[in-house]
Chain A
Amino acid sequence: QVQFVQSGAEVKKPGASVKVSCKASGYNFDGYAIYWVRQAPGHKLEWMAWIHCGNGNTRYSAKSQGRLTITSDTSANTVYLELASLRSEDTGVYFCARDAAGRGDSWGQGTPVTVSS
């Protein structure tokens, strides 16, 4: 069965970087894309970045582009999201999801990231 296991909670200071991971299992990793979604406390879901795990193509939201890097490691069936120059407003829960013909049909459990001095 399709499953995603995300890395654990992170606490970072403003200006630092954070890298969260999403390990996939139960399907052909190369055949799908994965995207990341963020939810700040009390806020709506915010789409952030996308990567096709087969060809490495990427897309980023305009809001975070420049600070975001999404990568995939096909040998480890894992996708990573790195966010640089962290600000307090980057605090939230980060979710990965499989992109199946446009829809997010399977989601990770979420990784809480706290940015605080």
Chain B
Amino acid sequence: DAGITQSPRHKVTETGTPVTLRCHQTENHRYMYWYRQDPGHGLRLIHYSYGVKDTDKGEVSDGYSVSRSKTEDFLLTLESATSSQTSVYFCAISESSSGGPYLPEQFFGPGTRLTVL
């Protein structure tokens, strides 16, 4: 299994509070992603990163920010949580190649279940 951990795994918070989710990888992969999963919507991309300090917005980025100060860590922050941000959040990693064939697939962490009351 790809070495990806997410913390915390579960969190309950109140509307208006800041929340930070952490994704940590041990694979030294270049690309990292944050998704949210909601019933009927599959996975939707929030933000992604091409490398240290290099990030960009995804499909559903409003209300979220990210930071990547080290290759191995990718943080997702909800500056002021709302009930609509109750979801399961997944981190993923990817690497174009590792000296061999092109590898387009992403590998996923175990997820963080966030409830905003």
A binds B: no
Binding site for A on B (CB under 8 A): none
